[in-house]
Protein backbone atom coordinates (compact mmCIF):
# COMPACT_ATOMS: atom_id res chain seq x y z
CA UNK A 1 0.00 0.00 0.00
CA UNK A 2 1.37 3.45 -0.93
CA UNK A 3 2.05 6.09 1.69
CA UNK A 4 -0.94 8.12 0.65
CA UNK A 5 -3.24 5.08 0.87
CA UNK A 6 -1.83 4.18 4.28
CA UNK A 7 -2.35 7.69 5.56
CA UNK A 8 -5.89 7.85 4.24
CA UNK A 9 -6.63 4.53 5.90
CA UNK A 10 -5.21 5.86 9.15
CA UNK A 11 -7.43 8.93 8.70
CA UNK A 12 -10.53 6.81 8.34
CA UNK A 13 -9.75 4.51 11.22
CA UNK A 14 -9.09 7.42 13.57
CA UNK A 15 -12.68 8.62 13.26
CA UNK A 16 -14.81 7.77 16.26
CA UNK A 17 -18.08 5.92 15.83
CA UNK A 18 -20.36 8.76 16.75
CA UNK A 19 -18.95 10.89 13.97
CA UNK A 20 -17.52 13.32 16.49
CA UNK A 21 -13.79 13.67 16.61
CA UNK A 22 -12.03 14.46 19.81
CA UNK A 23 -9.76 17.51 19.70
CA UNK A 24 -6.71 15.27 19.69
CA UNK A 25 -8.00 13.20 16.83
CA UNK A 26 -9.00 16.28 14.95
CA UNK A 27 -5.52 17.70 15.20
CA UNK A 28 -3.93 14.43 14.13
CA UNK A 29 -6.41 14.14 11.25
CA UNK A 30 -5.61 17.62 10.03
CA UNK A 31 -1.92 16.85 10.06
CA UNK A 32 -2.48 13.59 8.23
CA UNK A 33 -4.71 15.17 5.60
CA UNK A 34 -2.23 17.97 4.96
CA UNK A 35 0.57 15.53 4.89
CA UNK A 36 -1.14 13.21 2.39
CA UNK A 37 -2.08 16.11 0.16
CA UNK A 38 1.44 17.42 -0.07
CA UNK A 39 3.35 14.24 0.03
CA UNK A 40 2.89 12.98 -3.54
CA UNK A 41 4.81 15.73 -5.29
CA UNK A 42 8.34 16.01 -4.03
CA UNK A 43 9.48 19.61 -4.07
CA UNK A 44 11.57 19.91 -7.18
CA UNK A 45 14.57 21.99 -6.58
CA UNK A 46 16.67 22.34 -9.65
CA UNK A 47 19.69 23.23 -7.58
CA UNK A 48 19.87 19.75 -6.14
CA UNK A 49 22.08 17.26 -7.96
CA UNK A 50 20.81 15.80 -11.23
CA UNK A 51 21.17 12.04 -11.78
CA UNK A 52 24.18 12.74 -13.95
CA UNK A 53 25.78 14.79 -11.20
CA UNK A 54 24.91 12.23 -8.54
CA UNK A 55 26.78 9.57 -10.51
CA UNK A 56 29.91 11.71 -10.66
CA UNK A 57 29.62 12.71 -7.03
CA UNK A 58 29.87 9.01 -6.16
CA UNK A 59 32.87 8.58 -8.43
CA UNK A 60 34.66 11.61 -7.04
CA UNK A 61 33.97 10.62 -3.45
CA UNK A 62 35.29 7.12 -4.12
CA UNK A 63 38.48 8.44 -5.64
CA UNK A 64 38.84 10.99 -2.88
CA UNK A 65 38.62 8.32 -0.20
CA UNK A 66 41.17 6.22 -2.06
CA UNK A 67 43.55 9.13 -2.41
CA UNK A 68 43.53 10.75 1.04
CA UNK A 69 42.95 9.97 4.65
CA UNK A 70 39.68 11.75 5.32
CA UNK A 71 40.08 11.73 9.08
CA UNK A 72 43.10 13.98 8.55
CA UNK A 73 41.01 16.50 6.61
CA UNK A 74 38.28 16.34 9.24
CA UNK A 75 40.83 17.48 11.83
CA UNK A 76 41.93 20.55 9.91
CA UNK A 77 40.65 24.01 10.57
CA UNK A 78 37.38 24.37 8.64
CA UNK A 79 38.59 26.92 6.09
CA UNK A 80 41.76 24.98 5.45
CA UNK A 81 39.75 21.76 5.04
CA UNK A 82 37.46 23.46 2.53
CA UNK A 83 40.41 24.69 0.48
CA UNK A 84 41.95 21.25 0.41
CA UNK A 85 38.68 19.57 -0.58
CA UNK A 86 38.18 22.09 -3.37
CA UNK A 87 41.66 21.46 -4.76
CA UNK A 88 41.29 17.70 -4.51
CA UNK A 89 37.88 17.66 -6.21
CA UNK A 90 39.12 19.87 -9.02
CA UNK A 91 42.14 17.72 -9.67
CA UNK A 92 40.07 14.50 -9.65
CA UNK A 93 37.62 15.97 -12.17
CA UNK A 94 40.50 17.15 -14.35
CA UNK A 95 42.60 13.97 -14.16
CA UNK A 96 39.64 11.76 -15.01
CA UNK A 97 38.18 14.05 -17.64
CA UNK A 98 34.74 13.94 -16.05
CA UNK A 99 32.24 15.70 -18.34
CA UNK A 100 30.95 18.31 -15.91
CA UNK A 101 30.00 21.90 -16.62
CA UNK A 102 31.45 24.75 -14.61
CA UNK A 103 28.21 24.99 -12.67
CA UNK A 104 28.24 21.26 -11.90
CA UNK A 105 31.83 21.46 -10.71
CA UNK A 106 30.97 24.17 -8.22
CA UNK A 107 28.01 22.17 -6.97
CA UNK A 108 30.17 19.07 -6.77
CA UNK A 109 32.71 20.81 -4.55
CA UNK A 110 29.94 22.07 -2.30
CA UNK A 111 28.21 18.68 -2.02
CA UNK A 112 31.44 16.86 -1.32
CA UNK A 113 32.36 19.42 1.30
CA UNK A 114 28.90 18.84 2.88
CA UNK A 115 29.59 15.14 2.86
CA UNK A 116 32.96 15.36 4.54
CA UNK A 117 32.50 18.29 6.89
CA UNK A 118 28.78 18.77 7.30
CA UNK A 119 25.49 16.95 7.43
CA UNK A 120 25.73 15.37 3.98
CA UNK A 121 22.59 15.81 1.88
CA UNK A 122 20.81 17.56 4.77
CA UNK A 123 23.18 20.47 4.37
CA UNK A 124 21.42 21.36 1.11
CA UNK A 125 18.15 21.69 3.02
CA UNK A 126 19.83 23.60 5.84
CA UNK A 127 20.84 26.28 3.33
CA UNK A 128 17.21 27.12 2.63
CA UNK A 129 16.07 29.62 5.27
CA UNK A 130 12.42 28.89 4.49
CA UNK A 131 12.76 25.35 5.82
CA UNK A 132 11.82 25.24 9.47
CA UNK A 133 11.91 21.51 10.08
CA UNK A 134 13.72 18.55 8.51
CA UNK A 135 12.42 15.07 9.19
CA UNK A 136 14.34 12.00 8.02
CA UNK A 137 12.17 8.90 8.11
CA UNK A 138 14.73 6.33 7.01
CA UNK A 139 17.30 7.02 4.29
CA UNK A 140 14.98 7.61 1.37
CA UNK A 141 12.19 9.70 2.88
CA UNK A 142 13.25 13.15 3.93
CA UNK A 143 10.34 15.45 4.68
CA UNK A 144 10.56 19.16 5.26
CA UNK A 145 8.34 21.84 6.65
CA UNK A 146 8.59 24.83 4.37
CA UNK A 147 6.52 27.97 4.94
CA UNK A 148 4.45 26.02 7.42
CA UNK A 149 3.67 23.11 5.10
CA UNK A 150 4.89 19.52 5.26
CA UNK A 151 6.39 18.24 2.02
CA UNK A 152 8.51 15.34 0.80
CA UNK A 153 11.86 16.70 -0.32
CA UNK A 154 13.82 15.36 -3.28
CA UNK A 155 16.87 14.85 -1.11
CA UNK A 156 17.82 11.32 0.02
CA UNK A 157 20.62 9.53 1.78
CA UNK A 158 22.31 6.79 -0.28
CA UNK A 159 21.30 4.19 2.32
CA UNK A 160 20.83 3.73 6.06
CA UNK A 161 24.58 3.46 6.63
CA UNK A 162 25.00 6.87 5.04
CA UNK A 163 22.35 8.34 7.35
CA UNK A 164 24.06 6.68 10.32
CA UNK A 165 27.40 8.27 9.43
CA UNK A 166 25.78 11.71 9.55
CA UNK A 167 23.97 10.85 12.80
CA UNK A 168 27.29 9.85 14.37
CA UNK A 169 28.73 13.17 13.34
CA UNK A 170 25.79 15.08 14.86
CA UNK A 171 25.79 13.30 18.22
CA UNK A 172 29.53 12.99 18.63
CA UNK A 173 29.84 16.75 18.26
CA UNK A 174 27.89 17.15 21.50
CA UNK A 175 29.84 14.39 23.20
CA UNK A 176 27.18 11.73 22.90
CA UNK A 177 27.18 8.28 21.36
CA UNK A 178 24.43 6.44 19.61
CA UNK A 179 24.24 2.71 19.00
CA UNK A 180 21.94 -0.24 19.57
CA UNK A 181 22.36 -0.03 23.31
CA UNK A 182 21.54 3.67 23.48
CA UNK A 183 19.46 4.29 20.37
CA UNK A 184 18.04 7.75 21.14
CA UNK A 185 19.72 11.11 21.56
CA UNK A 186 19.07 14.83 21.60
CA UNK A 187 21.64 17.19 20.26
CA UNK A 188 22.07 20.66 18.92
CA UNK A 189 23.66 21.78 15.69
CA UNK A 190 26.21 24.55 15.44
CA UNK A 191 23.51 27.03 14.35
CA UNK A 192 21.42 26.23 17.44
CA UNK A 193 18.94 23.91 15.70
CA UNK A 194 17.49 21.22 17.92
CA UNK A 195 17.99 17.62 16.80
CA UNK A 196 16.46 14.36 17.93
CA UNK A 197 17.77 11.06 16.67
CA UNK A 198 16.31 7.60 17.09
CA UNK A 199 17.66 4.53 15.33
CA UNK A 200 16.78 0.83 14.92
CA UNK A 201 15.81 -1.35 16.69
CA UNK A 202 13.54 1.31 18.23
CA UNK A 203 12.85 2.98 14.89
CA UNK A 204 11.44 0.24 12.72
CA UNK A 205 12.12 1.70 9.27
CA UNK A 206 15.64 2.98 9.55
CA UNK A 207 17.30 5.92 11.26
CA UNK A 208 15.03 8.85 12.08
CA UNK A 209 16.31 12.39 12.46
CA UNK A 210 14.16 15.38 13.38
CA UNK A 211 15.72 18.82 13.09
CA UNK A 212 13.87 21.87 14.39
CA UNK A 213 15.39 25.02 12.96
CA UNK A 214 15.00 28.52 14.27
CA UNK A 215 15.11 31.67 12.23
CA UNK A 216 18.48 33.44 12.51
CA UNK A 217 16.54 36.43 13.85
CA UNK A 218 14.02 35.13 16.37
CA UNK A 219 10.41 36.19 15.80
CA UNK A 220 9.53 39.18 17.93
CA UNK A 221 6.02 39.95 19.10
CA UNK A 222 5.88 42.85 16.63
CA UNK A 223 6.84 40.62 13.72
CA UNK A 224 4.27 38.09 14.90
CA UNK A 225 1.65 40.86 14.74
CA UNK A 226 2.81 41.75 11.22
CA UNK A 227 2.50 38.10 10.25
CA UNK A 228 -1.04 38.05 11.66
CA UNK A 229 -0.21 35.57 14.41
CA UNK A 230 -2.03 37.81 16.89
CA UNK A 231 -3.67 41.25 16.99
CA UNK A 232 -1.98 44.41 18.10
CA UNK A 233 -4.41 44.59 21.02
CA UNK A 234 -3.39 41.12 22.19
CA UNK A 235 0.29 41.98 21.81
CA UNK A 236 -0.04 45.23 23.75
CA UNK A 237 -1.89 43.47 26.52
CA UNK A 238 0.69 40.68 26.75
CA UNK A 239 3.61 43.12 26.76
CA UNK A 240 2.00 44.92 29.70
CA UNK A 241 1.31 41.82 31.78
CA UNK A 242 4.79 40.42 31.23
CA UNK A 243 6.24 43.74 32.25
CA UNK A 244 4.36 43.93 35.55
CA UNK A 245 5.19 40.32 36.38
CA UNK A 246 2.10 38.24 35.78
CA UNK A 247 2.67 34.48 35.59
CA UNK A 248 1.90 33.15 32.14
CA UNK A 249 1.41 29.63 30.85
CA UNK A 250 1.68 29.20 27.09
CA UNK A 251 -0.22 26.21 25.81
CA UNK A 252 -0.08 24.53 22.41
CA UNK A 253 0.37 21.32 20.44
CA UNK A 254 3.62 20.02 18.97
CA UNK A 255 5.33 22.60 16.80
CA UNK A 256 2.54 25.12 17.37
CA UNK A 257 4.92 27.91 18.34
CA UNK A 258 5.08 27.65 22.16
CA UNK A 259 8.80 28.20 22.43
CA UNK A 260 8.66 31.01 19.86
CA UNK A 261 5.89 32.75 21.81
CA UNK A 262 7.75 32.28 25.10
CA UNK A 263 10.86 33.80 23.59
CA UNK A 264 8.92 36.73 22.16
CA UNK A 265 7.12 37.43 25.44
CA UNK A 266 10.25 37.24 27.53
CA UNK A 267 11.63 40.23 25.62
CA UNK A 268 9.38 42.44 27.78
CA UNK A 269 10.93 41.43 31.08
CA UNK A 270 12.57 44.60 32.37
CA UNK A 271 16.35 44.77 32.05
CA UNK A 272 16.89 45.20 35.78
CA UNK A 273 15.41 41.82 36.67
CA UNK A 274 17.44 38.65 37.10
CA UNK A 275 16.19 35.86 34.85
CA UNK A 276 16.96 32.16 35.19
CA UNK A 277 15.93 29.94 32.26
CA UNK A 278 15.62 26.17 32.56
CA UNK A 279 15.33 23.96 29.51
CA UNK A 280 15.79 20.39 28.38
CA UNK A 281 17.57 21.56 25.26
CA UNK A 282 18.37 25.26 25.32
CA UNK A 283 16.39 26.99 22.59
CA UNK A 284 15.41 30.30 24.11
CA UNK A 285 17.28 33.34 22.83
CA UNK A 286 16.70 35.98 25.47
CA UNK A 287 18.37 39.30 24.89
CA UNK A 288 18.57 40.57 28.48
CA UNK A 289 21.96 40.98 30.07
CA UNK A 290 21.11 39.66 33.51
CA UNK A 291 20.42 36.13 32.41
CA UNK A 292 21.41 32.71 33.71
CA UNK A 293 20.75 29.81 31.35
CA UNK A 294 20.48 26.30 32.72
CA UNK A 295 20.07 23.08 30.77
CA UNK A 296 19.22 19.59 32.03
CA UNK A 297 21.68 16.73 31.62
CA UNK A 298 20.61 13.33 30.33
CA UNK A 299 22.01 10.22 32.04
CA UNK A 300 25.39 9.04 30.76
CA UNK A 301 25.95 5.70 29.06
CA UNK A 302 25.96 3.88 32.42
CA UNK A 303 22.62 5.54 33.23
CA UNK A 304 24.04 7.88 35.88
CA UNK A 305 24.42 11.58 36.34
CA UNK A 306 21.04 12.76 35.15
CA UNK A 307 20.05 16.26 36.28
CA UNK A 308 16.34 16.86 35.82
CA UNK A 309 14.36 20.05 35.33
CA UNK A 310 13.03 19.57 38.84
CA UNK A 311 16.51 19.74 40.34
CA UNK A 312 17.28 22.80 38.27
CA UNK A 313 14.09 24.59 39.37
CA UNK A 314 14.98 23.88 42.99
CA UNK A 315 18.49 25.12 42.43
CA UNK A 316 17.23 28.20 40.61
CA UNK A 317 15.24 29.17 43.71
CA UNK A 318 18.53 29.52 45.56
CA UNK A 319 19.91 31.84 42.91
CA UNK A 320 17.85 34.90 43.79
CA UNK A 321 15.87 34.90 40.59
CA UNK A 322 13.33 37.61 39.81
CA UNK A 323 11.90 35.51 37.02
CA UNK A 324 12.06 31.81 36.37
CA UNK A 325 11.41 30.59 32.86
CA UNK A 326 10.96 26.88 32.27
CA UNK A 327 11.01 25.97 28.58
CA UNK A 328 8.26 23.39 28.98
CA UNK A 329 6.85 21.79 32.09
CA UNK A 330 6.44 18.09 31.56
CA UNK A 331 7.20 16.35 34.83
CA UNK A 332 7.78 16.62 38.53
CA UNK A 333 9.12 20.17 38.19
CA UNK A 334 5.56 21.38 37.61
CA UNK A 335 4.75 21.47 41.31
CA UNK A 336 7.99 23.27 42.11
CA UNK A 337 7.23 25.79 39.41
CA UNK A 338 3.74 26.41 40.84
CA UNK A 339 5.19 26.83 44.29
CA UNK A 340 7.78 29.25 42.97
CA UNK A 341 5.05 31.26 41.25
CA UNK A 342 3.08 31.29 44.47
CA UNK A 343 5.96 32.37 46.64
CA UNK A 344 7.07 35.61 45.19
CA UNK A 345 8.64 34.65 41.87
CA UNK A 346 6.07 36.54 39.95
CA UNK A 347 6.48 37.04 36.29
CA UNK A 348 7.47 33.44 35.68
CA UNK A 349 6.75 31.99 32.29
CA UNK A 350 6.45 28.46 31.00
CA UNK A 351 4.77 26.36 28.33
CA UNK A 352 2.84 23.13 28.27
CA UNK A 353 1.47 20.76 25.71
CA UNK A 354 -2.33 21.14 25.44
CA UNK A 355 -4.98 22.12 22.91
CA UNK A 356 -7.08 24.63 24.86
CA UNK A 357 -6.50 26.81 27.93
CA UNK A 358 -8.85 24.55 29.89
CA UNK A 359 -6.90 21.45 28.80
CA UNK A 360 -3.69 23.22 29.77
CA UNK A 361 -4.91 23.49 33.38
CA UNK A 362 -5.94 19.83 33.34
CA UNK A 363 -2.50 18.95 32.01
CA UNK A 364 -0.80 20.89 34.83
CA UNK A 365 -3.03 19.08 37.31
CA UNK A 366 -2.03 15.71 35.81
CA UNK A 367 1.64 16.60 35.86
CA UNK A 368 1.40 17.43 39.56
CA UNK A 369 -0.38 14.12 40.23
CA UNK A 370 2.17 12.20 38.16
CA UNK A 371 4.95 13.83 40.14
CA UNK A 372 3.76 11.84 43.16
CA UNK A 373 2.28 14.71 45.14
CA UNK A 374 -0.66 13.21 46.92
CA UNK A 375 -2.63 16.35 47.52
CA UNK A 376 -6.41 16.58 47.42
CA UNK A 377 -7.54 17.71 43.97
CA UNK A 378 -8.99 20.90 45.37
CA UNK A 379 -5.69 21.85 46.93
CA UNK A 380 -3.84 21.26 43.66
CA UNK A 381 -6.36 23.35 41.76
CA UNK A 382 -6.14 26.12 44.32
CA UNK A 383 -2.35 26.15 43.84
CA UNK A 384 -2.80 26.34 40.07
CA UNK A 385 -5.48 29.03 40.28
CA UNK A 386 -3.36 31.29 42.41
CA UNK A 387 -0.08 30.59 40.61
CA UNK A 388 -1.05 31.11 37.01
CA UNK A 389 -2.57 34.40 35.92
CA UNK A 390 -2.92 33.99 32.16
CA UNK A 391 -3.03 31.10 29.72
CA UNK A 392 -2.01 31.91 26.16
CA UNK A 393 -3.05 29.36 23.56
CA UNK A 394 -1.05 28.95 20.35
CA UNK A 395 -2.01 26.73 17.47
CA UNK A 396 -0.65 25.51 14.18
CA UNK A 397 -3.58 25.72 11.80
CA UNK A 398 -3.92 23.28 8.93
CA UNK A 399 -2.81 25.89 6.39
CA UNK A 400 0.54 25.88 8.19
CA UNK A 401 0.08 29.27 9.86
CA UNK A 402 0.64 29.76 13.59
CA UNK A 403 -1.90 31.78 15.48
CA UNK A 404 -2.47 32.83 19.04
CA UNK A 405 -6.00 31.54 19.36
CA UNK A 406 -6.86 32.55 22.91
CA UNK A 407 -5.75 34.56 25.91
CA UNK A 408 -7.58 33.53 29.06
CA UNK A 409 -7.44 35.00 32.53
CA UNK A 410 -7.63 32.78 35.58
CA UNK A 411 -10.16 34.25 37.98
CA UNK A 412 -9.97 31.90 40.95
CA UNK A 413 -11.94 28.95 42.29
CA UNK A 414 -15.61 28.22 42.46
CA UNK A 415 -16.06 25.16 44.63
CA UNK A 416 -13.62 22.66 43.14
CA UNK A 417 -13.47 24.28 39.73
CA UNK A 418 -10.91 26.81 38.50
CA UNK A 419 -12.75 29.66 36.83
CA UNK A 420 -11.30 31.50 33.91
CA UNK A 421 -12.51 34.10 31.45
CA UNK A 422 -11.34 34.41 27.90
CA UNK A 423 -10.17 37.92 27.00
CA UNK A 424 -9.24 37.43 23.35
CA UNK A 425 -9.94 34.71 20.84
CA UNK A 426 -9.41 33.81 17.21
CA UNK A 427 -12.60 33.01 15.36
CA UNK A 428 -12.44 31.23 12.02
CA UNK A 429 -14.45 32.71 9.18
CA UNK A 430 -13.63 30.39 6.25
CA UNK A 431 -10.92 29.78 3.71
CA UNK A 432 -9.72 32.05 0.88
CA UNK A 433 -8.91 31.04 -2.70
CA UNK A 434 -5.33 30.15 -1.69
CA UNK A 435 -6.58 27.75 0.98
CA UNK A 436 -5.51 30.14 3.70
CA UNK A 437 -7.66 30.24 6.80
CA UNK A 438 -9.50 33.53 7.24
CA UNK A 439 -10.72 34.74 10.59
CA UNK A 440 -10.77 37.48 13.17
CA UNK A 441 -8.94 38.19 16.37
CA UNK A 442 -11.58 39.35 18.72
CA UNK A 443 -11.78 40.70 22.26
CA UNK A 444 -14.58 38.97 24.14
CA UNK A 445 -15.56 42.10 26.05
CA UNK A 446 -14.25 40.81 29.38
CA UNK A 447 -12.00 43.30 31.12
CA UNK A 448 -8.83 41.91 32.71
CA UNK A 449 -8.60 42.05 36.48
CA UNK A 450 -5.12 43.55 36.28
CA UNK A 451 -6.27 46.84 34.74
CA UNK A 452 -5.84 48.63 38.09
CA UNK A 453 -2.52 46.97 38.81
CA UNK A 454 -1.37 48.16 35.39
CA UNK A 455 -2.52 51.69 36.13
CA UNK A 456 -0.61 51.68 39.39
CA UNK A 457 2.50 50.79 37.42
CA UNK A 458 1.85 53.62 35.00
CA UNK A 459 0.54 51.48 32.16
CA UNK A 460 -2.73 52.79 30.82
CA UNK A 461 -4.25 50.38 28.32
CA UNK A 462 -6.76 51.71 25.83
CA UNK A 463 -10.13 50.21 26.80
CA UNK A 464 -10.88 49.88 23.07
CA UNK A 465 -8.52 46.92 23.03
CA UNK A 466 -11.13 44.98 24.97
CA UNK A 467 -14.15 46.12 22.99
CA UNK A 468 -15.71 43.14 21.16
CA UNK A 469 -16.47 45.37 18.16
CA UNK A 470 -12.78 45.86 17.76
CA UNK A 471 -12.17 42.82 15.58
CA UNK A 472 -9.02 42.44 13.54
CA UNK A 473 -9.55 40.57 10.30
CA UNK A 474 -6.76 38.36 8.99
Ligand X SMILES: Nc1ncnc2c1ncn2[C@@H]1O[C@H](COP(=O)(O)OP(=O)(O)OP(=O)(O)O)[C@@H](O)[C@H]1O
Least spacing, CB of residue 458 vs ligand X, in Å: 29
Least spacing, CB of residue 306 vs ligand X, in Å: 20
Question: Considering the rule CB under 5 A, would residue 193 count as an interface residue with Mg ion?
Answer: no
Site track 378-417 with ligand X (rule: CB under 6 A), x = hit? ------------------------x---------------
Question: Considering the rule CB under 6 A, would residue 257 count as an interface residue with ligand X?
Answer: yes
| Nearer of residues 196 and 308 to ligand X, judged by Cβ | 196
Nearest-CA neighbor of 313 among 284, 334, 291?
334
Which residues are 403's β-sheet partners?
395
Sign of CA dihedral 358, 279, 26, 132: positive
Quick check: helix, strand or coil at residue 180? coil
Binding residues with ligand X: total (CB under 6 A)? 18
10: which residues sit within 8 A by CB, 6+ positions away?
32
Q: Looking at residue 377, what DSSP letter applies? A: H
3-state secondary structure string across 277-325:
EEECCCCCCCCCCCEEEEECECCCCCCCCCECHHHHHHHHHCCCCCEEE
Site track 259-288 with Mg ion (rule: CB under 5 A), x = hit? x-----------------------------
Question: Considering the rule CB under 6 A, would residue 24 count as an interface residue with ligand X?
Answer: no
Find the part of the chain contacting Mg ion (CB under 5 A) among 172-180, 252-260, 296-304, 423-431. Answer: 252-260
Q: Which of 34, 193, 259, 309 binds ligand X (CB under 6 A)?
A: 259
| Nearer of residues 217 and 302 to ligand X, judged by Cβ | 217
Least spacing, CB of residue 364 vs ligand X, in Å: 16
CA distance 295 to 326: 10
Site track 109-148 with ligand X (rule: CB under 6 A), x = hit? -----------------------x----------------
The arrangement of strands across the sheet holding 248-252 comes to: 291-295, 275-279, 323-326, 349-353, 248-252, 390-396, 402-414, 417-431, 437-443, 472-473
Site track 203-232 with ligand X (rule: CB under 6 A), x = hit? ---------xxxx---x----x--x-x---
Find the part of the chain contacting ligand X (CB under 6 A) among 71-79, 136-144, 173-181, 250-258. Answer: 250-258
Rounded to the nearest 10 degrees, how much is the dihedral formed by the CA atoms of 420, 424, 427, 432? Answer: -150
Q: Which helix (H) or strand (E) holds 389?
A: none
Which residues are 410's β-sheet partners?
420
| Nearer of residues 251 and 259 to Mg ion, judged by Cβ | 259
Least spacing, CB of residue 331 vs ligand X, in Å: 15
Amino acid sequence: MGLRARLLKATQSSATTDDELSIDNQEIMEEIINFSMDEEEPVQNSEYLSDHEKKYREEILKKLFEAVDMSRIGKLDKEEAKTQIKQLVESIIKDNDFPLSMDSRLKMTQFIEDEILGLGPLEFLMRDPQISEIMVNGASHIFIEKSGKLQLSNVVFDNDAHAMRIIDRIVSRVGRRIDESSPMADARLEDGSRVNVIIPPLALDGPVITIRRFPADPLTLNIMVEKNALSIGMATFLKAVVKIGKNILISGGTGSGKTTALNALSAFIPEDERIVTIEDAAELQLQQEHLVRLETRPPNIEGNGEISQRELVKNALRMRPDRIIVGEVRGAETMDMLQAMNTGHDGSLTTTHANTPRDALARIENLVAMGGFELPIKAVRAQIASAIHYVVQVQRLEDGSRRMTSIAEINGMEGEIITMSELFLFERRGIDQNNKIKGVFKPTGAMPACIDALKRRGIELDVDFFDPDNEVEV
